[in-house]
Amino acid sequence: MVACRAATMGLRMGFTGNLKTLSFGDILQLISTGKKTGVLQILRANCAKKLYFRGGNIITAASHPSTIEERLGQVLTRKGLLSPEDLDKALKKHKSSGKRLGQVLIDSGLLERAVILDSLRAQVEEVVYSVFAWTEAEFRFLDDEIPDPTQILVDLNTMNVMMEGARRFDEYAEVAHDLPPGETILRMCPVPRLEQPSIVLSADDVEILAAVDGERSLMEILSTASNGEYSASKSLHKLVQSKLVEPCPTAAERGRRRIEEDQVYDLIYRLYSHALQTLHKALVEQLGMVGERLFAAVPDGWDADKPELLNILTAGADGSEESFRKETAHIAESIRLHRVLALANCLLSEKVRTLIDRLGPRLAGRIVSGIQKDLTFLLAQKRNLADKYDVSREFRQALQGV
């Protein structure tokens, strides 16, 4: 079965097709063994690649929407070979003179030609390697199409690049399996749920994290990465697995999330208000007005919103959940739930420490055990919700004065 078809475009001959029927590796082999000269154009959604060949070897490559100059500048500054200030000057000269960025850098004496060639070679290889992960895309090859004559060219053995690309694809397939579809919009998690105490991020990881803005799709983030799509995919996989990055929720998902968060606020209010009111009562019963003053005391350094929150959770103001929600409404929505839980946790743990200091660990322990017993049924009822949002763990730690 013929997987591609010949095409005539003016005087240029070539072939067209789809990667579903002819793999990228097979296309490269066809071009290499045929010692072809021309350009291979590959288009998938809003991402396009151009690979130029001479005598079957790869001489340059480009990836839309980023430009060769943008990628080269990113690579050179990222490697510390060029300062951001020098890059800015060179880019301005590139635009005003029409010369390629690489040539501007060489003419300015900022970098040797060999350094530019090494960076361009790595850049071209990354563009080629990225296509191995594509299983569906339209392509066409145009014979004798050559790049801009002002462009600095490399000379890569296509078969060698193809073998390395196949090796990388095997690794990439494992990473891609855990990533969402390419058109998925990604955002930084408003409340990261880290499953380990610390995460070490490389320079590559930080660059990708900075590109996640809630507007770019996964494909767009990968296509503009200075370190290439292969390395960028591994970084993005790490960020997603570490729960620092997540897909943007749909409208329906946001609606469900709001309903769920309302239930979490209700749970936080019921847990912490009961616990704090019980501690308040115990201090007053044991110490009278001294206990009242101790409970109402605000330690130095506390945020301005904590005292009011304490009043509401201990039946000050009107002591209602409505007051609780009004008091927390001024906190930015993206961090509100995390912030409210942190504030409630801080309040409770501080008052537990006061209880232990003034009444002794034995009596304080009995009071805390009573609180836990009182709330056992509520936590059992809301177990899935409490565990999902870490409310159970945070509440238990606060009751220990942590």
Condensed to tens digits (0 to 9), the pLDDT of residues 149-207 reads 888 899 999 999 998 888 887 777 778 778 888 888 999 887 666 666 678 888 888 88
Scan for tokens 């983030």, then name that residue: 221
Determine which helix (DSSP H) or strand (DSSP E) holds 8, and give its type and residue range: strand 4-9
Buried b (16+ CB within 10 A) or exposed e, 121-149: eebbbbbbbbbbbbeebebbbbbebebee
The bridge status of strand 47-54 relative to strand 38-44 is antiparallel
Flag whether pLDDT at 48 surpasses 50. yes
Give the burial class of 5: count Cβ atoms within 10 A of its Cβ; 0-12 exposed, 13-18 middle, 19 or more buried: exposed
Strand partners, 39: 52, 142
pLDDT single digits (tens) 101-145: 888 888 888 889 899 888 888 888 888 888 887 888 999 999 988
Q: What's the pLDDT at 11?
A: 42
Q: Does residue 139 contact residue 25 with C-beta atoms inside 8 Å? A: no
Look up residue 197 and give its two tokens: 């105490």
Residue with the bigger pLDDT between 79 and 157: it is: 157
Residue ranges of alpha helices (H) inside 288-382 are 289-296, 305-313, 321-328, 333-359, 361-374, 376-381
Q: What's the pLDDT at 307?
A: 60
Strand partners, 49: 42, 63
Distances from the Cα of 92 to the Cα of 76, 98, 305, angstroms: 16, 10, 49
Q: Which among 24, 228, 1 is positioned nearest to 135, based on CA atoms?
A: 24
Averaged over 278-305, what is the pLDDT? 82
Q: What's the pLDDT at 156?
A: 94
The Cβ-side half-sphere exposure at 211, using a 13 Å CA radius, reads 23
With 0.75 as the threshold, say if the pTM is over it.
no
Flag whether pLDDT at 10 surpasses 50. no
The bridge status of strand 38-44 relative to strand 12-18 is unpaired
Q: What's the pLDDT at 160?
A: 93
Edge-first strand listing for the sheet containing 138-143 = 4-9, 12-18, 138-143, 38-44, 47-54, 57-64
Averaged over 380-387, what is the pLDDT? 89
Averaged over 92-96, what is the pLDDT? 87
Averaged over 75-79, what is the pLDDT? 78
Q: Which among 79, 82, 179 is positioned nearest to 123, based on CA atoms?
A: 79
Q: What's the pLDDT at 9?
A: 43
Q: Does residue 76 contact residue 82 with C-beta atoms inside 8 Å? A: yes
Q: What's the pLDDT at 1?
A: 40
The bridge status of strand 12-18 relative to strand 4-9 is antiparallel
The dihedral sign for the CA sequence 158, 164, 168, 170 = positive
Identify each DSSP E strand in 166-294 by its residue range. Answer: 186-188, 245-247
Give the lowest-confidence range in 33-42, 51-60, 79-88, 225-234.
225-234
Q: Does residue 385 contact residue 260 with C-beta atoms inside 8 Å? A: yes
